[in-house]
A and B are shown apart, each in its own frame.
Chain A
Amino acid sequence: MFKKLYIAALLTGVLASGANAQENKISVENPNGGIKLTSADKEYQVSINGRIYMDGVHYFDDVTDLSSDVSINDIRFGTSVRWGKWSAKINVGFGNDEVKIKDAFLRYHHKKNSTFTVGNFFEPFGIEAAESSKNLRFIGASNTTQAMGIGRGVGLGYTYYTQKFYGSTGIFAGTVDNNNKGDQGFSTTSKVAYTPIQNDDFVFQVGGSFTYRKPEANGFSESFNDDDYNRVVEFAAGPEHKFLNATMNGAQSDMRFNFQTLALNGPFMLQAEYTQAKVTRDDDYVSRLMKDGPLYYVTYAWPVKPQDYPDWYGELRDIETKAYYVQAGFLLGDNYKYNSSTAYINRPKAGAFEFLVRYDHTDLNDIDGTYFNGAYGPADLNAALGGAGNMSIQGGKADTYSLAVNYYLSSNVMFRLNYDYMDVDNQKHPLDKNIGVLKGRIQVNF
């Protein structure tokens, strides 16, 4: 229902802008490949935006089958409206036969470089995670960002920037995708970036981000009358999320740090991010014991105290994962240009080629037990053989080497070609060692 309302609002906005054009003799501009309608008094502006991603992917799989295919990965349609110090944006995605709310926010432009935003928008975290996919250098984000980056959230944010400083913060209450009965959780996310060197020849930026999150509950437990039931954090990345996938049940909090750096020198670019996550876990053993009650056997009873659960199944200790990537780019036909308002790079001009290389290391393992046959036991082999459990997280590890070529045909159309070579290490897929991924994309946006 929520999504239908958004779509209705979107269509209403488009129709309203059309009606407005007839009444007030609006002017039409086409900046950056888009169409912007401006009222005679210049107080009211409407622009329409959209995108199409036509993708093809071929996997050079090792053992586990991966599905090569062509797809319309993303179709977007939306509109932006601005009046006075206010603006709003609605953007809906229709890719892969799914309707998804993307940007949907109201923004107050307190000053040119100081804005408040409310609605559904990117949480400010790192470079790639806070940037639209149309502006990423590769097709999709790095495994680092896919796994531990953050997308959009519903909340309130504030952004301030100067030529050298960029800061953004916000508080969010889950995502528009929340379909579970349980508590939606919340998060607070902040990002700062400082660009001490910024001239025509050289740009150098460092920055950091932090987020504290109360994960979304997985549902409602009838047994415990509890909407706090099993909060889950999932980190997943790479081909079909098969080789990098960590699911952490019983999560209580999720903290992530990100460090970023960016250097631009004419046609050369260097970009890197490091992300580390710490997920704290716990369970309500008292309630479980009250529900289970002691199970009496002939010679003993189990469980008889809350601690019996972690003692037997393994302690739900904190989990730490980390990942980083480094990428370098070279532009043929243009130079990289920094944009202080986004703290990132502008789109290269039409006719430019871009060549990129990237190395990514993503480690979603936090293991302190012994593995056998799909499950973990305690580090003590005898205890493990006796059947006791261990709550290690085995999300897999991968070193990924990537190459990319982009061709910017115009402000609206670009062609992308990527090749990723993944060196994977995942105990659930013991035979899979090397995965190749060839991806192509025709990207249209306006």
Chain B
Amino acid sequence: MEKFNFKNLILGAMALCSIGLAGCEDDTPDYNEFNYYKTYPLKELSAEAKVVRDYVKNDIVIAHRGSTFWAPEETEAAFRWARNMGADYLEIDLQRTKDGVLLALHDDNLRRTSNIESVFPGKEDYPVSYFTLAELRKLDAGAWFNVAVPENARESFVGEKISTLEEVMKIAEGYRIKRDVNGEPVKDMTRLTEAGEWAGYYEFEADPQDNGNRPGVYAETKEPYLFSGMEADLAKFLTAEGWNVTASPKTIPTTPGKVDVANTNGRFILQSFSRQSIVNLERELPGVPKCMLLWEDESASYVRPSNTIESLAEFINFSVEYNCHIVGPSIEGKPNGYPDLTEPWMCEMYHRAGMLIHAYSFDTEDQLRKYNGDYFYGGVSRFEDPNRTVQGNFNYDVNSNMFIDGGFTNLTDLSMNYQKREVIGTAQEVLDALGY
């Protein structure tokens, strides 16, 4: 019998392993978002936070800056139109004047959306915080629109004013700015500066063209270094106006069958791209729904395209930690060409954390169909058929968690029609009826 040689056995095994190791089957799934979005560790909103989240309805239409398409953005005309059109929320960008008034303006300066070049020459790039409200009232915030969007120009947009937060809330409550026989806003001379001069406020009156919709307000705060302490100012203002749902909110009369968001606990939603501002908002306005806005860029402040899933998870976990009940990701498509942070797998992650998804900003029906998932269902909208079924074979395990719960839209009319909601006329007809 041949002698068993232990050494040779070991030797042979080692040699075979050395050469053949790479041939072993690798059963570790490739590291990409499609293999890990379902299991990537995420925090989840607390039960208390989910109660606040549920203040906000599903499938809401958020009128982005009132409208950027039919009327000059963030003016009375845009907000009145959005209200009468049936939007659930009037969306604004909050800034603060030199004398501490909160108002609605998107850009860092007034160059694009006003005639500041002729009123305050040399100060075109100055921020809002440089001017008092009374000074800003000298600006025409509507005429530029007739040049920029000539197909939707209206003579009556000339002379539109920059809107204060108070005015936006009043419009939501069914009011409008009172005007004299010449169409000029009536100055409220009961609200004066310390020097005894007009402080820049106008009087209000019940809007005769109001059709009973009572939308909420969805307000974005900027980086705190631009407006230090603005979150505290906002909390104080909302409480004083009865719009802070955690501090004895006032009852705002509503009409059955009409939008009633202004009289719910979801009447005011906070939003910001700034994590610092989110932390401040959680401190100043706990219990008020909040939205973490997301943008994509290779920077710690945004979702990094180089490692999207980790980066997205960081933002989701931060959002949960500071009770952001909603996430506001960008969507792709013309005309903006934004990055897509609302892909189905991303939505599944947002939803797994317990957050609602309010994506921005919609301009076309194709975008509405895409981000509501219609193309997974043979083009059938869930607003047409709530029991629609998946048609086709996709890389995703398609389910209802992969799509949005609402969107910021530049075309409230388009979004309303897509959702099969009742509208009172075309966008132009509504503007006509409002007297523009």
Contacts and interface: CB of A to CB of B under 8 A. Distances in A.
B129 interface: yes
A381 B318 CA distance: 13
B26 A68 contact: yes
Contact of B18 (A63, A385, A409, A415): A415
Given A372-B318, A386-B224, A407-B7, A64 B31 contact: yes
Interface stretch (A85-93, A176-184, A285-293, A434-442): A434-442
A351 B10 CA distance: 12
A65 B26 CA distance: 10
A417 interface: yes
A353 B13 CA distance: 14
Interface residues of A, number: 41
A403 interface: no
A99 to B, nearest CB: 25
A440 B127 CA distance: 66
Contact of A431 (B24, B30, B40, B109): B40
Q: Would you call the interface of chain B mostly helix, strand, loop, or mixed?
A: helix
Interface of A: 54-58, 60-65, 68-70, 298-299, 351, 353, 372-375, 377, 381-382, 385-387, 405, 407, 409, 415-417, 430-431, 438-442
A61 B17 contact: no
Given A382-B276, A385-B276, A407 B129 contact: no
B1 interface: no
Given A65-B28, A385-B276, A405-B10, A438 B40 contact: no
A308 to B, nearest CB: 15
Contact of A299 (B26, B31, B40, B129): B129
16 contacts: A56-B21, A57-B21, A60-B28, A70-B18, A70-B20, A70-B22, A298-B126, A353-B10, A374-B300, A381-B279, A385-B275, A385-B279, A407-B10, A407-B11, A417-B17, A431-B31
B318 to A, nearest CB: 7
A54 B24 CA distance: 17
B36 interface: yes
A440 B21 contact: yes
B24 A68 contact: yes
Given A56-B18, A417-B18, 15 more contacts: A56-B19, A69-B22, A353-B10, A372-B300, A372-B314, A374-B300, A374-B307, A375-B300, A405-B14, A407-B11, A409-B11, A415-B14, A417-B17, A441-B18, A442-B19
Interface string B92-116: 0000000000000000010000000
Centre residue among B19, B20, B31, B129 by max chain A CB count within 10 A: B31
A350 to B, nearest CB: 12
Contact of A58 (B21, B41, B307): B21
B300 A54 contact: no
B4 interface: no
Contacts of B426: none
B314 A299 contact: no
A61 B28 contact: yes
A374 B276 contact: no
Contacts of A438: 17, 21
A94 to B, nearest CB: 20
Interface in B1-47: 7, 10-11, 14-15, 17-22, 24, 26, 28, 30-31, 36, 40-41
A382 B142 CA distance: 38
B304 interface: yes
A373 B314 contact: yes
Given A56-B20, A68-B24, A386-B225, A373 B15 contact: no
A373 B315 contact: yes
The 5 closest A-B pairs by CB, nearest first: A440-B18, A375-B300, A385-B276, A56-B21, A58-B21
Nearest to B32: A65
Interface string B104-148: 000001000000000000000111011000000000000000000
A374 B304 contact: yes
